[in-house]
Amino acid sequence: MKEPIHISDDLLISYMLQEVSDEQARLVTEWRTADAANEQRFNQFKMIWDSSKNFKADPDIDAHASLQKVKQRADEQKTSQAKVVSLHNRYGWLKIAAAVLFFAGGSWLYYNQFMNHQVRFETQGIVKTDTLPDGSRVTLNKYTLLRYPEKFTGDQRNVTLVKGEGFFNITPNKVKPFIITTGKTTIRVVGTSFNVKNKNGLIEVIVETGIVQVTNSWNNTMIALKPGEMALVNLKTGKVTRVKTPDNLYNYYRSKEFVAKNIPLSRLIQVLNEAYGSNVIIDNTVPKNLLLTATFRTDKSLDELLYVISAAFKIKVEKTPNQIILKKAD
């Protein structure tokens, strides 16, 4: 079993200052990709770091005196050790100053962000809807996990979609944007409605109203989506693609209907497999250009839906222990 990677705050500070070797940068990237919790810690660390750079220090804080104390402690440690290590190489005065500002300006933010109890909103075999602390509404599809704080503090509303799919209807607040982190993707909005899915190595963002900004943190690729547009983020390659939303089948878990309007049969089968956890495949004997217009209720069984589809296209349904095959009728 591969040993877990441990990343210190010291290395993260060096990373933020862009004072790391290629190997250290690679370690940070590998650490971030190894676990969703690592990515969340990195994003929270970066948020505190970015906020501390704009922090207006309390006039009662003597920054010069603080730096002198840090210097004194460093000198004492340096002289007390048998092996002399260059302070420039070990930390660098820029890093010391940055660290002082980081912890002076970021400590209050750390308390609000990390000590603020995180709510674990998780679904199993059912769809659930909840209201977030700012009044925003979120509907989670089956087997989805969302984490958010009991109270939004600071100048952002940050939540994490750990896995699964959710529809967000965000309460407008121009001075406090709503930020969703999922995988290596950040979704930033002010007040809008959109659908987010993180599944099988692909992140999908579909906009219904407003403007949504999608950023891939791997390569800092950013696109802005309008209603009727969607972004696809490949978590393996980092590629971000913008396309038109092909249909409304994505919202079946909210509307309780599969609404197909002149769509390929293969697209409907793809959604049915997702909704029912099934493995329906279309045999090569079935024409690939079959288009379907129909509305099905999600409370119907898969067998009922497949019966209607088979009757409409005169194809047969063959069941095996591991899959269901749609074939051309004899």
* Amino acid (one-letter) located at 181: T
Tokens 């913008």, located at residue: 242
Q: Give me the count of residues in the chain.
A: 330
The per-residue pLDDT for 110 is 52
Nearest alpha-carbon partner for 205 in 177, 184, 237, 233: 233
Q: Are 263 and 247 in contact (CB under 8 A)?
A: yes
The per-residue pLDDT for 48 is 62
pLDDT tens-digit readout, 24-47: 888 888 888 888 888 887 877 776
Domains of the chain: 9-114 (no CATH), 130-244 (2.60.120.1440), 250-328 (3.55.50.30)
Q: Which residues contact 65 (CB under 8 A, 6 or more apart)?
A: none
**Euclidean distance between CA atoms 316 and 327, whole angstroms:** 5
pLDDT tens-digit readout, 255-301: 999 999 999 999 999 999 999 999 999 999 998 889 999 999 999 99
Q: Are 267 and 311 in contact (CB under 8 A)?
A: no
Give 78's pLDDT tier (boundaries 50, 70, 90): very low
**Percent of the chain at pLDDT exceeding 90:** 52
The per-residue pLDDT for 115 is 60
DSSP string computed for 260-302: EEEEEHHHHHHHHHHHHT--EEE-TTS-TT-EEEEEEETTS-H
**Euclidean distance between CA atoms 252 and 300, whole angstroms:** 13
For the chain, give the mean pLDDT.
81
